[in-house]
Structure 1
C-alpha cells in the first residue's frame, strides 16, 4: 500500500481587526474623518461613532448658522473640503440651486457663499453613511473619557456609554474667555454677551442701542454684519489690543508668491524679514500682497516646524495679530459694510486695554487705556459683546472629558498655548511626553504642532492623514491553515 502525506498550506482570506472609533465632535473636522473612514469599507455598522449634540453633522460652531448675513471668508472655489475633489463644494452649490437663491454671493469676481450653505453641503457628505448605519451619531456631549480594560470608555451627558479602540478629539474651537474687568463687573448683567455665537444672542439688541464689541477679528465682524442685517443702525465700537481689523480679500485669482522653504527661516526675525522682502517684490510687480500670505499658508506647516519652540513663542508674542489680520481676511461683502459704516461714523475702532467697567441703569461705561500713550478714554454702550476669539489656552479646562484625560496623564496642554499637545502624527502627548497611540487630536486644537491648521484645506489634509493612520492600525491578520491529506 502506498501512503503519501502531502502537506498543503491554504491561505485564508485576511480577517481584518475591526476597531471601533469614537470621534468627539461632529463639526467639519469630525465629520470629515468619519466620512473618510466609512469610505474605506472596513468598518461594521456603528463602529464609527460621533459624539455631537447638534442635529446635523459637518457644520459645527463655524458653519452651523441660519443667519444669511454670515458668509464664508474664502471664495467657494478655494473651499477644498473633500480630499481628491477640490471643486466639490462649488459644484454642489450650483447643482443644488442654492447659488441661484443667493444673489449677493458674487463679489470681486468670486462666489462667497453663506456659511449655512457650506454646513448643508457637509451634512450631505456624511448623511449617506448615517443612513446605512456605518456611522452612528450620538446626539450628546462627551462628558467622560477614561481607560477601562485596555479600551476607551466614553460617556455622554445624556446617558450614552460605549467602549472604543481609538478616540479622536475633534471638538473644534473653545469658547472665548472675557477680559477680567468685564467678567468681574458684568457676569450677571443681561446686557453682557460673553458668547455671541448663540443664535438668540443678538436678538435682544434694539436698532438704536449702542454696542461695544471687545475684539476686532472675524468674530467681531460677524457680530457687526448680523446686527446690521437685523436693521441695527446705532454706533458700534470695536475694542482690541492692537486695533487691527481683518484685511480685505483681493479681487480675482492670483498665484501664491514667495518660496520660504529654500533656507527655511529659523527665527521670528528672519521670518519677518523674508515676508517683508516678498511683499516688496509683489508690490513692485503690481501683484496683490495677498499672494504672499497665500504662499505662507501653503508652506506654513513646514515653516512652523523649522522654528524652535522659543522662536515659535516669539512669533506668537510679536507677530501673531498682524499675521492673523492679513491671513484671515474678511469677505468682500463685509469689507463693503465696514467701509460704508466707517464713512457714516457708525463704526469706530479703538486700540487699547480695558482698565475700568462701570455698569449703570441706562448704559455701561468702559474706560480704555488707549495706545500708544495710555490716554484713558471712556466709552458708553447699552450692550457689551465679547468677540475675542477662542481661548485655546483654556481648551482642556473648558471641557470635562478633556480635563479628565489630563488628570489621568493622557493629555497635556500645548506649551505654546494653542490647544492640546500632540506630535506630527496628530497623536496626543501624555504627561511623560510620549504619544498615546490610540488618541488623536484633530483640527484647530492641534495648531501647536502644525502652526497652519485653521483653514478647510489644511484641516481636510490632516483628517485624511489621521484616517489613514487609524485604518493602518486595523491590521489584516492572515490565518494559515495546514491541511494534511493521508
Structure 2
C-alpha cells in the first residue's frame, strides 16, 4: 500500500482511543477479517484495553452490570463470566474469591479481560500495531485516504479512521464568578491519584454530582478519610438505584406504536410499573424491557421533545436505568448512618477561596434557602462534558477548526450519520471517518453502556471490513483489465 507521504506509514484502519470501544473494534476487525488487515490502535496513555472506565486500580470500583451480562461480544453475553471463572488467580489478585453470574466484579478485572482479548487476536488475521502517542489531527487526502497526525510520532495514512474518543472530564458548573476553576482547592479531575490524595486530608470535602462518578469517589474515600464529613451536592439529589436479581419481563412496547412524547412515555412506564408490582414483578424488569427500543424512541422524537426529556426526565430516568451494584449503595447508606456523609439537593452558585478552606454557597431545594458549606476541597463529579465546543482536547479542537466535525443539535456529542459515519460542517459524510459510543449520544442517547457498545463495535468492524474487501476487489479488477489491454496492444 502506498502511504502517499514519505514520513508516514500505511495501515488499513487507524483507531484513535483504546478503551472498550476502540479495543473492541480492533478485536472484531482481526477476528472477522477474511483477508489480511493492518490495524493501528492509538492510545496516548499507553494503557490498551482499559480506557477511563476500566483503567482504575481501585478494586472497590465495581462494574455496574453483573458478570453474566458483560461479555464483549453481542452474540455471547456470558463470555466475560466464563473468562472470570477460568481466571481465578486474576480475581484473587483483586480481592475476589468466588464469582457468580450475578456478581459485580471490580472494573480493573474487566480491563484485564479486554486487554487479554487484544493480546489474543494479534496476528490472527492481520496485524495490530499499538501506538503510544497522541493523535492531534485527521486530514482527508485527495486519494480518499486519511492522514492521522501524531504528536512525537510518525504520521499514519489510513483507509479508515475510527474516533473512539470515549468520555471527557466533567465540565465546570456555571457560577456567578467563573474564576473559581483557577482555585487550587477546586479539583476538576475526579479520577486522578492527586485528587484522591488531597481529598484524604483531614477536613470536610464536597463532591459535586451524585451519579456513578460520585459513587466511585465515595468508594475511594471511605477507607482513606478518617476525619471530616463528605458532602454530596446535586440538583435533584438522585443517586443511582441499586441492582437486584430480577426475573426478566417481556416488553410492553410495540415497535410500530412507540410513545411519541416524553410525557406519554412516562405515563406508560408508570402504569406498567404499577401493574407489574401488583403481579409481584420488580420495577427493574420493566425498565430493562425498554432497552431494545430506547434508541428507536429517541430517534423518532422531534428535537423539541428530546429537549423536553433532557430538561424534565433525564435525571430520573438515568437513576433508574443506569443502576449501581447493591454493595455500593449499602456503603453509601452506612456512611450516612455513621454521620460521615451528608447529601444535599440544590444548585450551587458560588465557590470562594478563604484562608484554609473554600466557602461554597448553594440554594437548598428542600428548605428553599441559601446555605453555606466550608470545605477543604470541592471535586467535580457532575459527569462527562458532552458539549464538544467546550473541550480543550487538541484533536477535537483541530477537527472543529477545519469543519471536519460538528456537534449535534443538542450538544450531547457529534453530528453523525447512519452507522456512526462522521458528518462535517456542511452536513456531508466524511468518507471513511467513523465514530461510536459517547460521541453518538445526541443521535442515539443510549450509547454509553457495554450492551450497546459491543453491538456498535461489531457492526462498525463489519462495515469497515466489507468496504476494505470491496475496494480490494475493485482494485484487482482494475489491474486485470489494465493487463488485458496491455496484452492486446
Alignment TM-score > 0.5, same fold: yes
Gaps of 5+ in 1: 1-17
Q: Does 1:140 align with 2:133?
A: yes
Q: 2:341 aligns with which of 347, 371, 385?
A: 347
| 1:133-182 Cα distance to aligned partner (Å, 9 max, x none) | 71111101111111233321111122331111211111101111121439
Residue 301 of structure 1: aligned partner:
295
Which shifted more, 173-182 or 61-70?
173-182
User: Structure 1's 251 and 101: CA in aligned 2 closer, same or farther, altered over 3 A?
Assistant: farther
User: Structure 1's 228 and 182: CA in aligned 2 closer, same or farther, altered over 3 A?
Assistant: farther
Aligned mates of 1:215, 1:105 — CA distance in 2:
33
SS of corresponding position for 1:337: helix
Map 1:65-76 to 2 at 5 A: 65-76=56-67
Report if aligned partners of 2:11, 2:40 keep a CA contact under 8 Å in 1.
no
Report if aligned partners of 1:73, 1:330 keep a CA contact under 8 Å in 2.
yes
SS of corresponding position for 2:362: strand
Residue 115 of structure 1: aligned partner:
107
User: Structure 1's 423 and 311: CA in aligned 2 closer, same or farther, altered over 3 A?
Assistant: same
Report if aligned partners of 2:172, 2:181 keep a CA contact under 8 Å in 1.
no
The two structures have a TM-score, normalised by structure 1, of 0.89
Task: Tell which structure's C-alpha radius of gyration is larger.
Answer: 1
Q: 1:49 aligns with which of 40, 50, 55?
A: 40
Residue 19 of structure 2: aligned partner:
27
Report if aligned partners of 1:82, 1:88 keep a CA contact under 8 Å in 2.
yes
| 1:17-54 Cα distance to aligned partner (Å, 9 max, x none) | x9711111110000000111111335646x21111023
Residue 387 of structure 2: aligned partner:
393
User: Structure 1's 107 and 285: CA in aligned 2 closer, same or farther, altered over 3 A?
Assistant: farther
SS of corresponding position for 1:280: helix
Aligned mates of 2:234, 2:184 — CA distance in 1:
22
Q: 2:208 aligns with which of 197, 209, 214?
A: 214
Gaps of 5+ in 2: 1-9
Highest relative contact order (Cα 8 Å, sep 6+), 1 or 2? 1
| 1:238-259 Cα distance to aligned partner (Å, 9 max, x none) | 1111111111112355345532
Report if aligned partners of 2:208, 2:234 keep a CA contact under 8 Å in 1.
yes
User: Structure 1's 109 and 332: CA in aligned 2 closer, same or farther, altered over 3 A?
Assistant: farther
Residue 82 of structure 2: aligned partner:
91
Q: Does 1:38 align with 2:30?
A: yes
User: Aligned residue pairs: how many?
Assistant: 467
Report if aligned partners of 1:396, 1:402 keep a CA contact under 8 Å in 2.
no
Q: Does 1:404 align with 2:398?
A: yes
SS of corresponding position for 1:84: coil
Residue 13 of structure 1: aligned partner:
none
The two structures have a TM-score, normalised by structure 2, of 0.89
Map 1:31-430 to 2 at 5 A: 31-42=23-34, 44=36, 47-97=38-88, 98-100=90-92, 110-130=102-122, 134-150=127-143, 151-181=145-175, 184-206=178-200, 208-232=202-226, 234-255=228-249, 257-259=251-253, 261-371=255-365, 374-394=368-388, 397-430=391-424
Query: Once the 2 structures are TM-superposed, how far is the Cα of residue 129 of structure 1 from its aligned partner?
Result: 3.6
SS of corresponding position for 1:269: helix
Which shifted more, 116-125 or 450-459?
450-459
Report if aligned partners of 1:170, 1:441 keep a CA contact under 8 Å in 2.
yes
Aligned mates of 1:228, 1:106 — CA distance in 2:
24
SS of corresponding position for 1:20: strand
